[in-house]
């Protein structure tokens, strides 16, 4: 552990190699800094703080970052640092095709390499929209400079015709009602206009809210701030405070490796489970932990889920939205309820332990943040399934599905890829009923590619009209954290690389048994072997560019979908980084 009583000297700063030495290259660094209007007194002997900003004109979740970055800079200046904004790829969930997940590792690499190649002594990470959070943290953890995360904060509650609307969750709900003929096109447009009405990320307990909460539980952002609504003035204050704090963290040399431990990742997993957070957190936290050298795996999630109650009554599993959660006391209050399920001795960016951070936090609305006695669900906010259909695992979110489907057997209705599904799902002649099991193949990390959030497979229109609102659905895709339903996700190995999901055919009987954590197709080993022998690998999805690198190095969902060459050894490399001239 880092000795926080020791302070760095200016000549110990990493940026000293750029600004402090007397050679030809440093002449260039100083003269070009002067070219930008800075006097040497602005930076000499001061920590250079890189602000990795994922603002973009096409990312509505980060539209306030243009202003927030100025507030971060204000804090850095006030604390005696030198702020340097470094724009990075903005992974905009609503716009990027086929999926932002294809680019999570690219942003992680960009973050790491920006920090490595420029004179950064510490960094502020500005993110929030789904993949930006894990990507930024993965890159920064690998580089291991003092780091603080500034979460984008959730947008305000949606509103339409006096009804509260939640990102994603109410989109799926009203889309189903439109397809069932229960609302008009005009109603649908009203939902479109009212569901996203301020800057900030999705305000349900989707992937963004889940991952920023995980970051706070990991101790990587200022305590109590991950759930402040983006337009709230306290959000701007948090940005300035983060700028001030990172400067002190550099002098104290508080690095990610001194904060991120196996126990802090357990805290993050517990917190995500208590929030009934997005299943995407499974993939991201495994990737983040493995960057730090901790072998977090699916079984750890399942083990912790068995003793972690769901305490947050938030959509899609519950009733309320993030604005309500913040006013009810926010994450500190929830963590107080978790009590001894957390290791409160873990250190945080605040310079205090988690326990010191959350001491005294209170719940102000007991239906939003429940006590353990009044838990929304006593345990099993997430379940990891295995069986002959998912030898390396799959996940499901039991609180977000109709309970009758937790133990279910039905006939498979198989779609070989997304386009096949889109073309046939609403065919009135499709041989499907409410007990059928809808299977989507080739939607995984390599198959889609990028493992998009296609896992909430649509219910056939003819069944919607009969009133069916949930069915068992299985894929190797992910699912938006704002989604719900009996959706088995992340099936590994994926069908594209020959996992058993690729061998399922129409009419096969599939059994889901959540209490016993099983997912099986009722086929003999001999039948599966015969089908495997006849299976042909699909052609590669990419023949040039980043996609080729991606396909060659991407790991399966149970390993976090990181690139194999990034998972290990990075800290050692950073520590032994060659002198840069």
Which stretches of the chain bind ligand FES, using CB under 6 A?
61, 93-94, 129-130, 167, 201-202, 206, 208
- For ligand FES, the closer of residues 33 and 207 by Cβ is 207
- For ligand FES, the closer of residues 208 and 574 by Cβ is 208
Minimum distance, C-beta of residue 111 to ligand FES, in the bound complex (Å) = 18
- For ligand FES, the closer of residues 93 and 144 by Cβ is 93
Task: Return the closest-CA partner of residue 473 out of 507, 529, 442, 512.
Answer: 512
- For ligand FES, the closer of residues 196 and 474 by Cβ is 196
| Residues across the chain | 581
- What's the token pair of residue 431? 């041989």
- The CA distance from 117 to 107, in Å, is 15
DSSP state of 55: -
Q: How many degrees, rounded to 5, is the angle at CA 454 between CA 417 and CA 464?
A: 95
Minimum distance, C-beta of residue 241 to ligand FES, in the bound complex (Å) = 23
220's CB contacts (< 8 A; 6+ apart) are 137, 147, 148, 149, 256, 259, 260, 348, 349
Minimum distance, C-beta of residue 132 to ligand FES, in the bound complex (Å) = 8
Asked if residue 73 lies in contact with residue 246, where contact means CB atoms within 8 angstroms, the answer is: no
- For ligand FES, the closer of residues 61 and 314 by Cβ is 61
From residue 521, alpha-carbon distances to 243, 364, 394, 470 in Å are 54, 47, 14, 20
- For ligand FES, the closer of residues 129 and 368 by Cβ is 129
Minimum distance, C-beta of residue 204 to ligand FES, in the bound complex (Å) = 9
Output phi, psi for 393, to 5 deg. 110, 160
Which stretch of DSSP H or E encloses residue 368? none
- For ligand FES, the closer of residues 120 and 281 by Cβ is 281
- For ligand FES, the closer of residues 167 and 313 by Cβ is 167
Minimum distance, C-beta of residue 151 to ligand FES, in the bound complex (Å) = 11
Minimum distance, C-beta of residue 152 to ligand FES, in the bound complex (Å) = 8
Minimum distance, C-beta of residue 202 to ligand FES, in the bound complex (Å) = 3
From residue 94, alpha-carbon distances to 98, 136, 177, 202, 399 in Å are 10, 19, 22, 10, 25
Task: Return the closest-CA partner of residue 376 out of 311, 304, 319, 325.
Answer: 311
- The CA distance from 203 to 166, in Å, is 6
- For ligand FES, the closer of residues 91 and 412 by Cβ is 91
Q: Which residue has the tokens 């960016």?
A: 349
Minimum distance, C-beta of residue 207 to ligand FES, in the bound complex (Å) = 7
The 3-class SS string of 146-198 reads: CEEEEECCECCCEEECCEEECCCHHHHHHHHHHHCCCCCHHHHHHHHHHCCCC
- For ligand FES, the closer of residues 128 and 146 by Cβ is 128
Minimum distance, C-beta of residue 94 to ligand FES, in the bound complex (Å) = 5
Task: Return the closest-CA partner of residue 297 out of 217, 395, 396.
Answer: 395
Minimum distance, C-beta of residue 543 to ligand FES, in the bound complex (Å) = 30
């Amino acid at each position: 552990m880092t000795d926080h009583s020791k302070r760095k000297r200016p000549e110990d700063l990493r940026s000293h190699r750029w600004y402090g030495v007397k050679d030809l290259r440093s002449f260039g660094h100083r003269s070009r800094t002067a070219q930008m209007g800075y006097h040497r007194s602005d930076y000499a002997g001061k920590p250079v703080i890189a602000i990795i900003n994922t603002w973009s004109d096409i990312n509505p979740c980060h539209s306030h970052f243009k202003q927030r970055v100025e507030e971060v800079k204000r804090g850095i200046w006030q604390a005696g640092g030198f702020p340097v904004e470094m724009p990075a790829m903005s992974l905009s969930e609503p716009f990027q095709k086929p999926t932002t997940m294809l680019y999570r590792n690219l942003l992680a690499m960009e973050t790491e390499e920006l920090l490595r190649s420029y004179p950064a002594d510490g960094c502020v990470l500005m993110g929030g929209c789904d993949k930006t959070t894990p990507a930024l943290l993965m890159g920064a953890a690998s580089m291991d400079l003092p780091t603080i995360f500034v979460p984008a904060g959730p947008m305000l509650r949606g509103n339409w015709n006096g009804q509260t609307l939640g990102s994603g969750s109410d989109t799926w709900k009203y889309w189903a009602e439109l397809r069932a003929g229960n609302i008009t096109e005009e109603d649908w447009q009203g939902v479109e206009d009212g569901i996203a009405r301020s800057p900030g990320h999705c305000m349900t307990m989707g992937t963004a809210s889940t991952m920023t909460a995980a970051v706070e539980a990991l101790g990587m952002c200022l305590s109590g701030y991950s759930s402040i609504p983006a337009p709230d003035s306290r959000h701007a204050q948090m940005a300035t405070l983060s700028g001030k704090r990172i400067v002190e963290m550099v002098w104290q040399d508080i690095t990610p490796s001194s904060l991120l431990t196996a126990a802090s990742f357990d805290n993050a997993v517990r917190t995500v489970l208590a929030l009934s957070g997005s299943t995407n957190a499974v993939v991201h936290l495994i990737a983040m932990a493995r960057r730090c050298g901790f072998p977090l795996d699916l079984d750890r999630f399942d083990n912790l889920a068995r003793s972690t109650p769901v305490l947050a009554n938030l959509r899609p599993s519950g009733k309320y939205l993030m604005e309500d959660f913040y006013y009810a006391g926010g994450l500190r209050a929830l963590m107080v309820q978790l009590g001894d399920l957390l290791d409160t001795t873990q250190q945080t960016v605040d310079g205090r332990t988690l326990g010191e951070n959350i001491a005294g936090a209170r719940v102000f609305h007991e239906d939003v943040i429940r006590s353990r006695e009044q838990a929304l669900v006593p345990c099993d906010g997430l379940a990891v399934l295995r069986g002959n259909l998912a030898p390396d695992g799959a996940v499901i979110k039991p609180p977000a599905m109709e309970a009758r489907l937790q133990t279910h057997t039905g006939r498979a209705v198989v779609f070989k890829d997304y386009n096949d599904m889109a073309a046939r799902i609403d065919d009135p002649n499709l041989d499907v009923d409410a007990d059928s099991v809808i299977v989507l193949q080739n939607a995984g990390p390599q198959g889609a590619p990028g493992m998009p959030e296609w896992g909430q497979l649509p219910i056939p229109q003819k069944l919607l009209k009969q009133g069916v609102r949930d069915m068992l659905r299985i894929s190797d895709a992910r699912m938006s954290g704002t989604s719900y339903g009996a959706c088995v996700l992340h099936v590994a190995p994926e069908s594209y690389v020959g996992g058993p999901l690729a061998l399922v055919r129409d009419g096969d009987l599939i059994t889901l048994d959540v209490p016993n954590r099983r997912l099986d197709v009722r086929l003999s080993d001999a039948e599966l072997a015969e089908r495997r022998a006849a299976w042909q690998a699909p052609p590669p999805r990419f023949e040039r560019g980043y996609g080729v690198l991606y396909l060659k190095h991407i790991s399966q969902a149970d390993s976090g979908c990181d690139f194999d060459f990034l998972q290990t050894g990075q800290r050692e490399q950073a520590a032994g980084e060659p002198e840069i001239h």
